[in-house]
């Protein structure tokens, strides 16, 4: 078996289907025991991880595969397995497997919410997998939205708590709005680039490039929590820690960065892309880090740190040099590992001590040695200290910043160096505050699921450093995928005494001093979530305001609805009035038509003036009979028959309905009468205009010959109309009858509501 | 009084019911080569149901069964060809020799049309239920209805 026998589309599809199938199964399993459910949920990600490792280890040839739905629009599911997709798959499925293992320990009792939690975790994992493997912009968008929705469910896990519901709603509204922005951007990008395939994107030069850039950056910034769209991320920390570790540090928040990376090559000539990206990234990097230094909740410290790190990634990718891109991919990889480990440790502390407040935590290095070791290793990796994976990645970023020239050099290098100092500072403060001296916290016993997962994640930073060659084999091709010029770069275990290394040493020294001695105060109050409150109150105000315009539009007056519809219909026909060819208008084809038309007009007028309701219903029936008579004269017996039966049923139905009402119409005001007449006249004129216009413009000859032939050959029937209905155009019929069924179910539901209300 | 108390109407509808059903069945099968078809047949059956409702005699009430059965039927008939590598809704036509009738030709359009009929009848029954027919023959508003919208 060679590696390429694993690079088969059917394996990818099987894995995806397996994910989807396992979602309900895991929920069923979790109803019995939450560990069983999580175990079932871990199988598809585990298999995907193994598959990805095999492909990566053998440098398998990338392939694309698609399941097309709408041809011509390229709408469908389309996936690719290039290096960056595989790197992200490794993170999504690998960390997914570990998080599900971790969750077996994190969730102790089998609560009623566990089936939902288990199924949503796997559903998120599936969506994320689809997103990172997606090749067409449509597939990207679909799975992007899926991640927003599953994230909403996961954040809102403890749905009895109002603040949790608010946090979930905030996350959904912000990322959802970003999703719409992204859709707009992708549509423009697709039309400018002339392809919907991400792997075939070429630099776009069109004048609308900057709009696409702004819209896509809107999606990126909301998903990857860039200032000022970051306010949902700290709130999302109300989610259980496995969710935070998985979604809000390792994978989902990286979706924006990933998108930035893979669509970046299309925007190399668009200045907006670079400068807006830099502004977002640098602001987030600095603001996230500074806010992180002010929090006392260990989880929030990490969350703000994530915003800062995501800012660094966005900055590096926006710079656009090959070296910066390479550094960004390296940090993306390293960050997923060390940040997931740190979150996992904080979750374990939370569960075993009952607090995450760094003022109350102390002596954990004695009581929780494994967790402490993992946190220290991962924290140092985050700070960029050797011999850890984060060091090599951070080194690449510093090198990339120092290599810049011009105005970029000044802004970007200062920011990256400043951001790195802050990163070291908040890491130091986090580690000292959580694990250092302090009142000894009482600690509950260790839980195997959590320890296994945190240990593996913690070892990741060490193993990544030792096996730097393997990491290079994963990271480098992914960077080359984005920028060909990145092939000259490598991560080094030991870069030698370069300028970059000296700068790194300075960063660490400065950061430690700031974090341990200057800004280590924990007694100041934690910052208030003003941005989040603003979003919440804005949403509340909107919801309080919305009923007014809705009530104004949906006022419930049937005559006004009717008049509106008629006016709109007439307005729509006006442009076609000039198409009317007077020569095609004849009085009648046969005098019968004239007689029938006269009867119809008389019946219609009678219906308008008769005062008895029953009489009006009968005149409507007469109109219908006249119309079906016209169909007969015109040689359309099928239509006539159907019209006849429909009219019969309607008249009988009218008679039934009239039982509820008085026998006569109530007296109407003269003004109102004239309004009704005007509306009716307008409708009549509009329909006449539309019919005359369409009759004057026959588009081609009707395909009667072909239809007649096809009816007998394919449909096996001589009645063309019915063969069209049941065979040639049966899809239309299918749709129509389904609509009928839905309408009927709606009527039944309404009738039932009335009964329930009457009984209440 | 719409008819709950009229023996003439009741007897008339009772007598007409089998004949109307016969007409519906004829239309259903005639649709292949002549005017008719599942939709028209369903409407005729629906008219029978409505007439019985007016006359205040027993009528079918299983709207949900007809609707779900009909929808299921059309969807299954539509989907079956997919399993044989044919396009959605592809029609299979076959003929068999039946004693007395001779060669009878039919196709998968038949069950499809049956589903359409069932949905149409279901819709009409649902409409009757929605109009609250059943209690209508029993009581009638005493005071003139003054709630007509915007009048």
Give me the number of domains chain A comprises: 3
Domain span holding position A287:
270-367+379-387+394-445+455-467+482-526
Residue A562, SS3? helix
CB atoms inside a 10 Å sphere around CB B48: 25
Kindly tell me the burial class for residue A406, based on how many C-beta atoms sit within 10 Å of its own C-beta (0-12, 13-18, 19 or more): exposed
Distance CA(A142)–CA(A79), nearest Å, equals: 13
Query: Are residues B33 and A719, on separate chains, in Cβ contact within 8 Å?
Result: yes
Among the partner-chain residues B88, B130, B146, the one whose CB lies closest to the CB of A751 is B130
Same domain, A676 and A637: yes
Q: Which site among A730, A746, A751, A756 would you substitute to test the B interface, given the most B Cβ atoms closer than 10 Å to its Cβ?
A: A730
| Residue A106 C-alpha from the chain's centroid | 27
Mean pLDDT for A724-748 is: 83
Write the CATH number for A687: 1.20.120
CA nearest neighbour of A63 among A127, A1, A13, A16:
A13
DSSP for A599-663, please give it: HHHHHHHHHHH--BHHHHHHHHHHHHHHHHHHHHHTT-HHHHHHHHHHHHHHHHHHHHHHTTS-S
Which residue of chain B comes nearest to A638, CA vs CA?
B35
Which tokens in the block code for residue A458? Answer: 């913690």
| Residue A699 C-alpha from the chain's centroid | 42
pLDDT at position B142:
43
Query: Are residues B91 and A668, on separate chains, in Cβ contact within 8 Å?
Result: no
Distance CA(A395)–CA(A386), nearest Å, equals: 10
Inside any domain, residue A202: no
Among the partner-chain residues B112, B119, B120, the one whose CB lies closest to the CB of A730 is B112
CB atoms inside a 10 Å sphere around CB A376: 16
pLDDT at position B96:
64
pLDDT at position B147:
43
Element (DSSP H or E) covering residue A454: helix A448-466
Which residue of chain B comes nearest to A648, CA vs CA?
B47
Mean pLDDT for A99-121 is: 88
Same domain, A492 and A624: no
Query: Are residues B43 and A645, on separate chains, in Cβ contact within 8 Å?
Result: yes
User: Which pLDDT band, with edges at 50, 70 and 90, does B104 fall under?
Assistant: low
Over the stretch A201-236, which tens digit does the pLDDT of each residue have?
888 877 788 899 999 999 999 999 998 999 999 999
Q: Which site among B9, B23, B40 would you substitute to test the A interface, given the most A Cβ atoms closer than 10 Å to its Cβ?
A: B40
Same domain, A518 and A567: no
Query: Are residues B127 and A747, on separate chains, in Cβ contact within 8 Å?
Result: yes
The winner for highest mean pLDDT among A309-313, A605-609, A700-704, A707-711 is A309-313
Q: Compute the nearest-CA separation of A673 from chain B (Å).
A: 9
Q: Say which residue, A238 or B56, is predicted with more confidence.
A: A238
Distance CA(A430)–CA(A604), nearest Å, equals: 83
Which residue among A660, A681, A698 closes a domain? A698
A657 touches chain B (CB under 8 A): yes
| Residue A746 C-alpha from the chain's centroid | 30
Over the stretch A241-299, which tens digit does the pLDDT of each residue have?
999 999 988 899 999 999 999 998 889 888 889 999 999 999 999 999 999 988 989 99
Distance CA(A210)–CA(A194), nearest Å, equals: 16
Element (DSSP H or E) covering residue A23: helix A9-32
Mean pLDDT for A470-487 is: 89
SS3 for A132-144 is HHECEHHHHHHHH
pLDDT at position B103:
63
Mean pLDDT for A521-528 is: 74
Cα–Cα–Cα angle for A11, A17, A22, rounded to 5 degrees: 125
Arithmetic mean of pLDDT over chain A: 88
pLDDT at position B85:
65
Mode of pairing for the β-strands spanning B102-107 and B93-98 = antiparallel
User: pTM, whole model, 2 decimals?
Assistant: 0.76
Residue A33, SS3? coil
Same domain, A736 and A682: no
pLDDT at position A170:
94
Same domain, A647 and A760: no
Q: Which site among B5, B130, B136, B138 would you substitute to test the A interface, given the most A Cβ atoms closer than 10 Å to its Cβ?
A: B130
Distance CA(A336)–CA(A306), nearest Å, equals: 10
Residues A410, A417 contacting (CB under 8 angstroms): no
Same domain, A633 and A681: yes
DSSP state at residue A248 = I
Same domain, A687 and A736: no
User: Which residue matches tokens 């081609």?
Assistant: A700
The winner for highest mean pLDDT among A172-186, A639-653, A659-673, B53-67 is A172-186
Element (DSSP H or E) covering residue A80: strand A75-80
Among A486-500, A562-576, A670-684, A746-760, which stretch is predicted with the lowest mean pLDDT?
A746-760
Chain A residues touching residue B127 (CB < 8 angstroms): 653, 744, 747
Same domain, A404 and A460: yes
User: Which pLDDT band, with edges at 50, 70 and 90, does B137 fall under?
Assistant: very low
Q: Where are the alpha helices (DSSP H) in A156-251?
A: 162-193, 209-223, 232-236, 241-245
Same domain, A508 and A383: yes
Query: Are residues A730 and B78, on separate chains, in Cβ contact within 8 Å?
Result: yes
Phi and psi at residue A60, to the nearest 5° = -65, 150
Distance CA(A166)–CA(A529), nearest Å, equals: 13
Chain B residues touching residue A560 (CB < 8 angstroms): 150
Which tokens in the block code for residue A183? Answer: 């859709």
Inside any domain, residue A42: no
Same domain, A463 and A331: yes
Q: Which of residues 57-76 of B touch A (CB under 8 A)?
A: 63-64, 67-68, 70-71, 74-75
pLDDT at position A349:
92
Mean pLDDT for A611-639 is: 89
DSSP for A665-689, please give it: PPP--HHHHHHHHHHHHHHHHHHHH
DSSP state at residue A67 = E
Distance CA(A255)–CA(A134), nearest Å, equals: 12
* pLDDT of residue A672 exceeding 60: yes
Query: Are residues A734 and B70, on separate chains, in Cβ contact within 8 Å?
Result: no
ipTM confidence score: 0.78
User: Which residue matches tokens 């590696």?
Assistant: A3
Among the partner-chain residues A714, A734, A743, the one whose CB lies closest to the CB of B74 is A734
Phi and psi at residue A636, to the nearest 5° = -125, 75
Phi and psi at residue A76, to the nearest 5° = 165, -170
pLDDT at position A1:
60
Which residue of chain A comes nearest to B124, CA vs CA?
A744
B55 touches chain A (CB under 8 A): no
B109 touches chain A (CB under 8 A): yes
Residues 6 or more apart from A579 whose CB is under 8 A from it? A693, A696, A697
- The alpha carbon dihedral of A478, A311, A253, A267 has a sign of negative
Residues A680, A608 contacting (CB under 8 angstroms): yes
Distance CA(B118)–CA(A741), nearest Å, equals: 10
Over the stretch A398-454, which tens digit does the pLDDT of each residue have?
999 888 887 778 889 999 999 999 999 999 999 988 888 777 778 888 888 899 999
Residues A147, A131 contacting (CB under 8 angstroms): yes
CB atoms inside a 10 Å sphere around CB A534: 11
pLDDT at position B145:
44
* pLDDT of residue B138 exceeding 50: no
User: Which residue matches tokens 């968008």?
Assistant: A141
Q: Compute the nearest-CA separation of A744 from chain B (Å).
A: 5
**Residue A203, Ramachandran bin (φ over 0: left; ψ between -120 and 50: alpha; else beta):** beta
Residues A261, A84 contacting (CB under 8 angstroms): yes
Mean pLDDT for A741-756 is: 82
């Amino acid at each position: 078996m060679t590696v390429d026998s694993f690079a088969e589309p059917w394996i990818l599809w099987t894995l995806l289907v397996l994910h989807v199938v396992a979602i309900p199964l895991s929920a069923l399993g979790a109803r019995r025991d939450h560990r069983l459910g999580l175990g079932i949920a871990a199988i598809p990600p585990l298999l995907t991880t193994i598959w990805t490792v095999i492909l990566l280890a053998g440098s398998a040839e990338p392939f694309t595969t698609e399941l097309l739905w709408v041809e011509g629009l390229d709408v469908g599911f389309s996936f690719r397995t290039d290096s960056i997709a595989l790197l992200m798959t490794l993170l999504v499925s690998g960390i997914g497997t570990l998080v599900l293992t971790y969750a077996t320990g994190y969730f102790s009792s089998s609560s009623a919410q566990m089936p939902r939690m288990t199924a949503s975790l796997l559903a998120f994992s599936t969506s994320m997998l689809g997103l990172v493997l997606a090749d067409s912009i449509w597939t990207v968008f679909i799975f992007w939205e899926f991640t927003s929705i599953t994230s909403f469910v996961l954040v809102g896990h403890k749905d009895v708590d109002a603040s949790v519901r608010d946090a979930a709603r905030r996350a959904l509204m912000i990322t959802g709005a970003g999703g719409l922005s992204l859709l707009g951007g992708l549509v423009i990008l697709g039309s400018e680039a002339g392809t919907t395939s991400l792997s075939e994107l070429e630099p776009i030069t069109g004048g609308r490039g900057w709009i696409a850039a702004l819209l896509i950056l809107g999606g990126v910034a909301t998903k990857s929590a860039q200032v000022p769209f970051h306010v949902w991320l700290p709130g999302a920390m109300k989610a259980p820690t496995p969710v935070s570790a998985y979604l809000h540090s390792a994978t989902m928040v990286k979706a924006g960065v990933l998108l930035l990376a893979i669509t970046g090559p299309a925007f190399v000539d668009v200045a907006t892309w670079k400068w807006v990206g830099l502004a977002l990234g640098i602001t987030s990097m600095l603001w996230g880090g500074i806010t992180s230094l002010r929090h006392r909740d260990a989880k929030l410290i990490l969350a703000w740190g994530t915003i800062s790190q995501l800012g660094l990634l966005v900055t590096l990718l926006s710079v656009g040099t090959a070296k910066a891109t390479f550094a960004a991919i390296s940090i993306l990889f390293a960050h997923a590992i060390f940040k997931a480990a740190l979150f996992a440790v904080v979750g374990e502390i939370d569960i075993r001590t009952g607090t995450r407040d760094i003022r109350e935590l102390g002596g954990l290095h004695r009581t929780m040695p494994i967790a402490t070791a993992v946190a220290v290793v991962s924290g140092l990796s985050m700070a960029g200290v050797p011999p850890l994976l984060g060091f090599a990645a951070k080194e690449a970023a510093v090198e990339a910043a120092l290599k810049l020239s011009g105005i970029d050099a000044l802004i970007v290098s200062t920011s990256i160096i400043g951001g790195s100092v802050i990163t070291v500072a908040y890491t130091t403060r986090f580690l000292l505050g959580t694990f250092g001296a302090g009142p000894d916290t009482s600690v509950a016993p260790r839980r195997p699921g959590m320890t296994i997962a945190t240990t593996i994640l913690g070892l990741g930073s060490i193993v990544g450093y030792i096996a730097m060659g393997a990491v290079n084999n994963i990271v480098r091709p992914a960077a080359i995928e984005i920028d060909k010029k990145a092939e000259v770069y490598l991560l080094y275990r030991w870069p030698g005494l370069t300028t970059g290394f000296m700068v790194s040493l300075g960063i660490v020294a400065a950061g430690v001093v700031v974090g341990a001695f200057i800004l280590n105060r924990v007694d100041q109050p934690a910052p208030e979530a003003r941005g989040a409150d603003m979003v919440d109150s804005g949403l509340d105000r909107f919801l309080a305001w919305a009923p007014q315009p809705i009530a104004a539009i949906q006022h419930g007056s049937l005559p006004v609805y009717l008049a509106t519809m008629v006016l709109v219909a007439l307005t729509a026909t006006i442009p076609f009035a000039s198409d009317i060819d007077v020569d095609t208008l004849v009085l009648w084809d046969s005098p019968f038509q004239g007689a029938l038309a006269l009867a119809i007009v008389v019946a219609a007028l009678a219906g308008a003036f008769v005062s008895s309701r029953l009489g009006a219903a009968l005149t409507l029936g007469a109109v219908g009979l006249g119309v079906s008579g016209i169909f007969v004269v015109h040689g359309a017996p099928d239509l006539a028959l159907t019209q006849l039966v429909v009219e019969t049923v309607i008249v009988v139905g009218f008679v039934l309905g009239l039982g509820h009402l008085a026998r006569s119409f109530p007296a109407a005001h003269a003004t109102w009468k004239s309004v009704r007449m005007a509306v009716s006249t307008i409708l009549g004129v509009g329909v006449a205009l539309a019919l005359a216009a369409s009759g004057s413009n026959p588009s081609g000859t009707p395909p009667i010959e072909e239809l007649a032939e096809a009816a007998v050959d394919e449909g096996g029937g001589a009645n063309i109309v019915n063969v069209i209905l049941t065979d040639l155009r049966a899809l239309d019929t299918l749709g129509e009858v389904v609509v009928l069924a839905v309408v009927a179910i709606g009527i039944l539901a309404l009738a039932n509501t009335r009964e329930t209300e009457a009984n209440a | 009084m719409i008819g709950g108390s009229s023996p003439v109407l009741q007897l008339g509808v009772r007598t007409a019911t089998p004949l109307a059903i016969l007409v519906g069945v004829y239309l259903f099968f005639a649709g292949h080569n002549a005017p008719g078809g599942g939709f028209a047949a369903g409407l005729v059956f629906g008219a029978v149901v409505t007439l019985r409702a007016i006359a205040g005699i027993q009528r079918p009430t299983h709207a949900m069964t007809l609707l779900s059965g009909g929808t299921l039927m059309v969807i299954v008939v539509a989907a079956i060809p997919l399993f044989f590598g044919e396009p959605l809704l592809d029609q299979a036509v076959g003929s068999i020799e039946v004693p007395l009738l001779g060669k009878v030709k039919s196709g998968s359009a038949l069950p499809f049309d049956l589903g359409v009929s069932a949905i149409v009848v279901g819709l009409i029954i649902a409409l009757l239920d929605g109009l609250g027919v059943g209690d209508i023959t029993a009581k009638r508003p005493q005071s003139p209805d003054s709630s007509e919208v915007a009048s």
